[in-house]
Chain A
Amino acid sequence: MAAPMLRWGCRGRRWAFARVDGGSCHRRGAPTGSTSNQIRGESSVAQQPLHTAQKTRKGEHKWAAVVGLEIHAQISSNSKLFSGSQVRFSAPPNSLVSFFDASLPGTLPVLNRRCVEAAVMTGLALNCHINKKSLFDRKHYFYADLPAGYQITQQRLPIAVNGSLIYGVCAGKKQSQVIPKTVRIKQIQLEQDSGKSLHDNLRSQTLIDLNRAGVGLLEVVLEPDMSCGEEAATAVRELQLILQALGTSQANMADYEIQRQINELENGGEILNETRSFHHKLGCTMSMRDKEGKQDYRFMPEPNLPPLVLYDATSLPAGADPQQVINIDQIRETLPELPSVTREKLVQQYGMLLEHSFTLLNEVGLLEFFQNVIKETRAEPKKVTSWVLNTFLGYLKQQNLAVSESPVTPSALAELLDLLDSRTISSSAAKQVFEELWKREGKTPGQIVSEKQLELMQDQGALEQLCHSVMEAHPQVVMDVKNRNPRAINKLIGLVRKATQSRADPVMIKEILEKKLSL
């Protein structure tokens, strides 16, 4: 079953592809995780070489994409944009369809207040100008999953315009530096989703499921300010985080399309105007609907919906029924903390690097995991950051798991870090304990440490005795140390540790050795 997750396509807009010498776009991995269809984006990259049309030999030129996006985010609401039908994922086909959704003659749209609030909230979070008056339009095209023969959208005067989205692009040798970039937001509009067509090729018939028909979407139109798929993907990711923080959309999404277009161009193909859907199992987008042939949507004002009028503190009419009006200022006050602010706080509060804060937010649930560990451990925040971002995240990635699927709980990691912090175990023993925890055998770090006898040797006398023995057994190394070979002492430390089965603290060993060697 094709799950249309992403719709990318050009709406008559064409942005230039220009050849450049440095820097290319590299492919990002196919998305993981969600299989729901929460966000669909539209991007356009079209070929328009600076030089006159010549046959391009493969690999001869590098292409600089100029990318704009139209992103469709499904609004988190209980009911549809213009009808009272429930919005629910994976319900039986055609079980969430009102008379209006099925476009029965004589039915009329009634605007869902929640969807308007979500649009205003998103507009404010994206620094948009909120239009006090916006309009709805009909966009006509014949398609089996569009029962009215038109979609109600906001073409002429959308609810929010002229915003911006700041996102960070990784740069530097190790991709460890974050450079802030801005993409302008042209507009945010409210519109209806269509139903789903399921093509049964075997019986050559198409089945229509109208559960999704009429679900509210936010279409966010990003100006072509991005230069490659990497940037577009990062910007979309940032938008996703904002929508999730606002709770206006679940915003599960993926990106894939730009590299496909680049490959296509390099292979001498043509980019068609089309709407593509993302197939999560194949990990690629597939052509959904031919948009070639200059579709004229014959836009027309929606006559059944009066202009949508919003108010602010100054324009709110006295004695207005709060159920009947939407106050922009009131919504502004309820805006939750946005990801950029969260990251700033992380940097300030825990002294972490900005790029670490990005990583913490980018993985679903990772920030919460981190904060839970911090709450329960005495270890330094920097230590926690390092463990969460390196060890923990590394294990997750290796096994392609989500944070929610982790075998290690925040409490277990907190306990482990406490053991480390109290010098009960060495950091290498800690790694060993972590690996044991990952096996999901239900043991606490303390139990693992005692079973495996991983505690550090705390007996100074015994350790001094061991050091003595090692020195006696390796006179040559001792000579090297005395001859000021800087690496020689490390070799001695290593030998002592080996003799303790790694249970001794290297710092302690070093101290004893230095004393004995009178360094």
Chain B
Amino acid sequence: MLGRSLREVSAALKQGQITPTELCQKCLSLIKKTKFLNAYITVSEEVALKQAEESEKRYKNGQSLGDLDGIPIAVKDNFSTSGIETTCASNMLKGYIPPYNATVVQKLLDQGALLMGKTNLDEFAMGVLLLSSTLECNGAISARCSLRLPASSDSPDSASQVAGTTGMPHHSQSGSTDGVFGPVKNPWSYSKQYREKRKQNPHSENEDSDWLITGGSSGGSAAAVSAFTCYAALGSDTGGSTRNPAAHCGLVGFKPSYGLVSRHGLIPLVNSMDVPGILTRCVDDAAIVLGALAGPDPRDSTTVHEPINKPFMLPSLADVSKLCIGIPKEYLVPELSSEVQSLWSKAADLFESEGAKVIEVSLPHTSYSIVCYHVLCTSEVASNMARFDGLQYGHRCDIDVSTEAMYAATRREGFNDVVRGRILSGNFFLLKENYENYFVKAQKVRRLIANDFVNAFNSGVDVLLTPTTLSEAVPYLEFIKEDNRTRSAQDDIFTQAVNMAGLPAVSIPVALSNQGLPIGLQFIGRAFCDQQLLTVAKWFEKQVQFPVIQLQELMDDCSAVLENEKLASVSLKQ
């Protein structure tokens, strides 16, 4: 039952093959068994069981609320949940219990979904894109990403004082490894597929330390869905935070159009790019969840007032001959692994062989995207983090000499180096003397990047097909090595421009690598053509038949849980 898709289990609930409480308990037991994955920060067992009980009553009375009624879901721990601790994986918010639900959480609960818990992430979701100081800045913005102290030593800028930064921020890695609750382990580390490949490798090291990262920053949500502890999870996506871990964990990771889904209650990273993301095991499931979430919210002025087709049903495409698929040539970067490149090109061939038009397109400003993102992201971060001062909520230090001293110490203790580094550089970019040279220029470049997409779509392209990540997930020990810096920064090259343009994008698992690990490809659609995008993704998903993760060995006695599942045979397209 646990291995089924959301749609399948929803049908089983309706037919009475299983009750919401049984389903909930199975998921809870799996959550406990997979605790070592560190997918959850908070498991809301009592809440979930109570919700399951209510759901069960509804089913008994024939008053089901719909496809999501009784379905276990998980929510990234940067969405506010009323009465349930919401930490952003930061010391700053440890113990913070919001008095309200994020709109997306409320909508899921209103549909009868069961909230299993809050999932792990990089601190304040700052996990995906991190620029190393060695990264060259080029062209339009002359942003020196190495950080300078903003003001002369005799009159320090108040911002830097309050940021409480004692020195240069350390470089840090992405990949849901960077929260105060520790890194998330990729369930595929324990899959039969990966283990078998590792055995063949004579250099295989100690298995326990060999675990893989999930990618970030919604790694906890990805691990939770991938390990069958829930049927769907909310992530957030600012630069690829949902699509990146989805690719590494063999899931569908969907980033809706900016403005389609409310951000109210999502603790912001970059307001102008954040969107709630959806992680599921198949495209149809993502569409069901999107159907529940999409729509204008009076509490979020950036949501659009377009009427949404509900329920959000995806037609099964029989024919792709009228489709035009664009392949952005700038996405063929030297760092791209040959396996991913080969899958990308096979996917293009597949479309072409089925009659679709596949053309090369140019997104000429792609290479400026990361630097531009850095300026805009850190600036908004500096601003958004200003509220965490220890006064109204969250962590507060013991120092009470003065309000300023309290602020500084609270923020030094509360934020990790990555967050403090971003606050510092963001404040630097926003200084009066720097604003025009950095922030305004970055905004202009952002416009150019967005226009690149508009031009591509205006040339007749329906969806763009790109890699999601440079390669499959890497082991943690390798990941934290110094020489992985540039790669981790580059990893978002394929995902983050989409956020700057506000477009919908989805990562679809395609096949397993030679190592036995998932590889995803990304489809990018026109703004607010989310349904069309998912329809194409669904067709593609059907063609590739991505294998189900085989976790029997990991869960030993959990095999009973999975025994009835018809596990699709591994059908690597390679």
Contact = CB atoms under 8 A, between A and B. Distances in A.
A89 interface: no
B392 interface: yes
Contacts of A102: 392-393
A300 B264 contact: no
A49 interface: no
A442 interface: no
Contacts, number: 114
B331 interface: no
A305 B301 contact: yes
Interface string A149-161: 1100000000000
Given A105-B80, A105-B267, A300 B379 contact: yes
B382 interface: yes
Contact of A142 (B88, B300, B389, B430): B389
Interface in A409-441: none
Tell which of A105, A144, A149, A306 has the most Cβ of chain B within 10 Å.
A105
Nearest to B393: A104
Interface stretch (A243-251, A290-298, A355-363): A290-298
B26 to A, nearest CB: 31
A304 B301 contact: yes
B263 A144 contact: no
A305 B272 CA distance: 10
A99 interface: yes
B93 interface: yes
A127 interface: no
Interface string B376-408: 000110110111110111000000000110010
Interface string B254-267: 00000000011111
Contacts of B379: 300
A14 interface: no
Interface size class of A (residues with CB under 8 A): 20 to 34
Contacts of B391: 144, 147, 208
B169 to A, nearest CB: 18
Contacts of B385: 149
Interface string A119-156: 00000000000000000001011101001111000000
The DSSP consensus for interface residues of chain B is loop
Interface residues of B, number: 51
Nearest to B98: A104
B451 interface: no
B504 to A, nearest CB: 19
Contact of A206 (B79, B80, B162, B403): B403
B386 A148 contact: yes
Nearest to B400: A205
A106 interface: yes
A86 interface: no
Interface in B83-135: 86, 88, 93, 96, 98-100, 102
Contacts of B79: 106
B439 A300 contact: yes
B387 A106 contact: no
A300 B155 contact: no
A150 B383 contact: yes
Nearest to B304: A306
Contacts of B387: 103, 105, 147-149
Interface in A258-300: 293-296, 298-300
B302 A298 contact: no
Interface string A451-465: 000000000000000
Given A298-B159, A298-B431, A105 B93 contact: yes
Given A142-B404, A150-B386, A300-B430, A108 B267 contact: no
A110 interface: yes
B268 interface: yes
A282 to B, nearest CB: 25
Contacts of A293: 155, 158
Nearest to B431: A296
12 contacts: A105-B93, A105-B98, A106-B79, A140-B383, A147-B389, A148-B387, A298-B427, A298-B430, A300-B430, A300-B439, A303-B380, A324-B305
Interface of B: 79-80, 86, 88, 93, 96, 98-100, 102, 155, 157-159, 162, 263-268, 270-272, 298-302, 305, 379-380, 382-383, 385-389, 391-393, 403-404, 407, 427, 430-432, 435, 439
Interface of A: 99, 102-111, 138, 140-142, 144, 147-150, 206, 208, 293-296, 298-300, 303-306, 324
Closest 6 CB pairs of A and B: A149-B386, A298-B430, A303-B271, A303-B272, A105-B267, A106-B265
